[in-house]
Amino acid sequence: MSEPGRRLGGLRLALATLTIAPVRAGRVDRATAAAAMSLAPAVGVALGLVAAAVGLGLRELGAPLLLAAVAAVATPAVLTRGLHLDGLADTADGLGSYADRETALAIMRKPDIGPFGVITLVLVLLAQVAAATAVLARPLTAAAAGVVASVAAGRVAIAIACRRSVPSARPEGLGALVAGTVPTTVGVVAGLVVATVAVPAVPGHPWQGPLAVALAVLAVLALIRHATRRLGGITGDVLGAATEVATTVTYCVLSM
Determine the Cα–Cα distance for residues 208 and 147; give it in Å rounded to an integer: 14
- Is the pLDDT at 113 greater than 70? The verdict is yes
Predicted confidence (pLDDT) at residue 24 exceeds the cutoff of 90: no
C-alpha to C-alpha distance for 147 and 129, rounded to whole angstroms: 11
Q: Is 163 strand, coil or helix? A: strand
Asked if residue 21 is part of any domain, the answer here is no
* Average pLDDT of every residue of the chain: 93
Helices and strands, number each (H, E), in the chain:
12, 0
Residue 15 lies in a domain: no
Chain-centroid distance, C-alpha 125: 13
Tell me the pTM.
0.95
Does pLDDT of 240 surpass 90? yes
Is 60 exceeded by the pLDDT of residue 2?
no
What is the share, in percent, of the chain residues with pLDDT greater than 70?
96
The predicted structure's pLDDT at residue 5: 60
pLDDT attached to residue 30: 84
Please return the burial class of 173, using the count of CB atoms within 10 Å of its CB with bins 0-12, 13-18 and 19+. Answer: middle
Question: Would you call 179 helix, strand, or coil by DSSP?
Answer: coil
Q: How confident is residue 121, by pLDDT bands cut at 50, 70 and 90?
A: very high
3-state secondary structure of 91: helix
Residue 99 pLDDT greater than 90, yes or no: no
Q: CA geometry: angle at 247 spanning 126 and 75, to 5°?
A: 70
Within-domain flag for 176: yes
Classify residue 14: in a domain, yes or no. Answer: no
Average pLDDT over residues 73-94: 96
pLDDT of residue 127: 98
Model confidence at 157: pLDDT above 70: yes
6, pLDDT greater than 70:
no
Whether residue 63 is contained in a domain is answered as: yes
CA nearest neighbour of 33 among 10, 17, 11, 16: 10
Residue at 10 is within a domain? no
Q: pLDDT tier at 28 (50, 70, 90 boundaries)?
A: confident
The pLDDT of residue 246 is above 80: yes
* The pLDDT of residue 12 is above 60: yes
Confidence of residue 130 (pLDDT cuts 50, 70, 90): very high
Structural domain includes residue 9: no
pLDDT score of 210:
98
pLDDT of residue 137: 98
Closest CA to 34 of 220, 158, 140, 118: 158
For the chain, what is the domain count?
1
In a domain, 1, yes or no: no
Task: Print the domain residue range for 166.
Answer: 40-255
pLDDT tens-digit profile of 216-234?
999 999 999 999 999 999 9
Total Cβ atoms within 10 A of residue 28: 15
